[in-house]
Chain A
Amino acid sequence: MSDEHGISRRTFIARGAAAGGAVVLAGAAGTALSACSSSSGGSSTSTTAAGGKPGVGTGTPVQGGSLTVGLLSEIDGFYPPQNHWDTSGYIYAQCLYDPLVAIAADGSIQPYLAETCTPNSTFDSWTLTLRPNVKFNDGSDLTSTVVVNNFATLKASLLTGQALTQVVSCTSTGPLSVVYKLQAPNPGFVAGLATQVGYVFGQAMIDQYKAGNQNPTPVGTGPFIYQSWVPNNHFTATKNPNYWRAGLPYLDQITLRPIPDTIQRESTLRTGGVDMIGSTDPDTIHRFAGESGYEVIDSLNNTIGEVSMAFIMLNTVVAPTNDLRIRQALAKATNQTQIQKIFGGGFTQTVNGIFLSNSPYYSTTDFPTHDPAGAKKLVTEYKAEHGTPTIQLLTIPDPRLAQVVQIIQQMWSQVGFDVTISQIEQANLINDFIAGKFQAATSYQFGAVNPDLNYVWWSTTTAGPVGSIALNFARNSDPVIEQNMLTGRHTTDQAARVKAYQSVNQQLAKDLPYIWLQQYIFSEVASSRVQNWANPKLPNGMSGYAFDEGIFSPTQIWMSK
């Protein structure tokens, strides 16, 4: 399933879950089981292409040149406390800023702008030491004071403050030393600093904002310096000649162009208007894979941790979906294989939960297989007691999703449901999710480096009655899931973590708040001139997370001559 226009908002919700936003710092444990150098046990495999790995540069890096990237959507600004960074937003951010920590290829959290990050013995206090001699592009120094001021601004913001509720204080204990004190022990705290709240912006931006400038000029320590931005047209940044990572970046200039329509984006790549594009349409992979002159990388084989899933969300507290038989019937009536065949581009695999078969947390579950006869039986049983079950299936005005829900409507109708479809604007659908005013709705979510980061979406503490605000949108309040998530978050024993999350997945398959459809697929296509766009290296020499569901690093890209 592809989503051009809605991607920014939906992806923001997903990324909000993936801890930049509302989740990680609210207490999700993560890959950093001690300090910020432990491995999560996550794995990734790369696709191979004839002659080498796609996106991995060969030969000697070439200094100079300009890269133009076609993005799915536009950013709404560059000020982290105020603006929403979805997939496209993070690409902008990677050009201008650096995060305090970053995700490595093995899924662990590694220092980036911070040199070290060390917890105390009880994991409720974290000390970050910043790198010395790093300057912002306005010439000011990176100091602990700036980081503390960053934190204060983020904490005060309505948008990002929620993500920092567990952080009691952030104080400077030296020119380059910052201490975060937490409300409660959290072994995975630093994972959140790899997201929006961890990208460090200059004091000048804070000062400009306080002076009334709602769109402060970006000031960061990143590989590129902001030059110009025409919303919905282009963004241009030039090489930071004083970048603290010696020898980087290779490019002289990077230009980002939002091109919402997928076909037009692909056409622009083919005509040389851009050098790279992103896509959420599986057919993009079909159209470019194996074609000479282009390289393709996708999230099918390059995702660490949990992938984003497309699913139908069912409200477990409103009739008729509050009846487990109904949820079972809907799941049995849904032919996942057929949906994937039509909309998955032939790439996706059968899913029985939040973990794919190559995940260490994967296990078999009792997620219902396609069984229309079994579904009819359950519907008949329900009908005898309550009458024909009526379902309103909500979705956003996306052409591809409209096709999907029509097929699902047919599948459900054939087993006895009375199904109507409603298309609602993204913003209103989110409102309905938050307030629980829905029965069934399409969604995609749960992509996360670490399963801890999805705690808020499944916790009993975030469920609530219809009409109240609840981030556990499906209102599936299951103590078994809660207990296992807490175990997973707080234990340092990997085997125990795996067992706990397998139990979560198995319980979700029993409770059925979600009918899984397929993995959400991101892809990136680049002309063969673009080198090394999926092979980032972290400051400590480790390989970085190459392709975080659409996000790549521009720092080490070069253009071959």
Chain B
Amino acid sequence: MGKYLIRRFLQLVVVSFVISVLVFMLVHLLPGDPTTQILGANDTAANRAILLKQLGLNLPLWHQYTIWLNAAFHGNLGTSYLDHESVTHILATGAPVSIELILISQILAFAIAIPLALVVSRKPNRPVDNISTTTTFGLLALPPFVVAPILVAVFAVGLGWFPATGYIPFTQAPLTNIHEMILPSVAITAGSIAVYFRVLRSDLISTLQQDFITMARSKGLSNLRIMWRHAFRPSSFSLLAVAGINIGSLIAGTFVVELLFALPGIGFALVQAVEQRDYLVVQGISLVVAIAFVIIQFVIDFIFTIVDPRVVRE
């Protein structure tokens, strides 16, 4: 187990390094540079040259990369060219918003998808199963930017149950915070429910046909116990894998929802930085998001070893 974890950790380090190089190169492949954003119509050749020198952007790319990487190792991800906020501060203020959004949405997704899959998998192709499958298929087809305005129109403007936009940190007003995060979270949840339900349902149906399930039934165990204690665990491997990828992609993938609901998360900050060629912000956020993605996969792999000890032996 220890060797396995060390091996995975070393992979994490290598992958993070590769990501840092890729992110740096990709950002600098974008046409343009921050001078136009900063100087606007005053972007004369002379001013541009001065500014590029001030920002260190006139140095060779490899030199810029080593400066940035060295600073990153010391915890300094740089400062925005536009509003001069430190990237660390941008992450510190934005990450809790995005993480909370993901957390609530995934908890809701699991809370709906798992019980629903457990129920319908016992009797597949019955009306309940057909309705559930069709509905989740429909949810899969609806992207968050379609779901969000519908939710706002019905539940905020129509019924007045929730605010249309806004964010107060959890630490300042927990109940208000949860109230404000419901609609944005539900907008993301829809797609996740669909994915988790379909994957788990399919695996459960397969598992329920195994001999050990027949054995459990013949021993007189209740359906609830069979489903929860015997069928769910071996059926959850695919769910775990998909959840890991889904959650990882949501880390900065929530930007559409953040934009629509005016949430100051890192997704929105990243997209803004790309538009503005705010290199250091893009590099910093991308690097952290990529590392977070890798860590999440690492954690999922670790959970796998608990759920299925065979993984470690293999």
Contacts and interface: CB of A to CB of B under 8 A. Distances in A.
A57 to B, nearest CB: 27
Nearest to A6: B275
Interface-centre pick from B157, B259, B262, B263 (highest chain A CB count, 10 A): B262
B165 A259 contact: yes
B43 A431 contact: yes
B76 interface: no
A290 interface: no
B39 A215 contact: no
Contact of A469 (B44, B84, B166): B44
A118 interface: no
Interface in A263-305: 263-265, 267-268, 270-271, 273
Contact of B36 (A158, A162, A430): A430
B32 A84 contact: no
A76 B83 contact: yes
Interface string A140-161: 0000000000000000001111
Given A21-B40, A263-B149, A271-B157, A158 B260 contact: no
B300 to A, nearest CB: 31
A5 B275 contact: yes
Contacts of B262: 232-233, 257-261, 264, 268
B38 interface: yes
Most-contacted residue by chain A among B31, B42, B43 (CB, 10 A): B42
A163 B41 CA distance: 11
Given A77-B83, A231-B264, A264-B262, A162 B42 contact: yes
A491 interface: no
B41 A231 contact: no
A214 interface: yes
Contacts of A469: 43-45
Contacts of B93: 230-231
Q: How large is the interface on B (under 10, 10 to 19, 20 to 34, 35 or more residues)?
A: 35 or more
Nearest to A258: B262
B186 interface: no
B39 A428 contact: no
Contacts of B12: none
Contacts of A264: 149, 152, 164-165, 260-262
Interface in B231-277: 259-264, 268-269, 272, 275-277
A426 interface: yes
A383 to B, nearest CB: 33
B249 to A, nearest CB: 22
A268 B163 contact: yes
A260 B145 CA distance: 14
Given A214-B84, A231-B83, A469-B45, A428 B32 contact: yes
Interface of B: 31-32, 34, 36-45, 47, 50-51, 79, 82-85, 90, 93, 149, 152-153, 156-157, 160, 163-167, 259-264, 268-269, 272, 275-277
Contacts of B47: 158, 162
A271 B156 contact: yes
A158 B42 contact: yes
A359 interface: no
A434 B268 contact: no
Interface stretch (A9-17, A310-318, A322-330): A9-17
A333 interface: no
A507 interface: no
A10 to B, nearest CB: 10
A427 B277 contact: yes
Given A83-B83, A232-B268, A428-B31, A13 B45 contact: no
B264 A232 contact: yes
Contact of B32 (A5, A21, A257, A425): A425
B82 A76 contact: yes
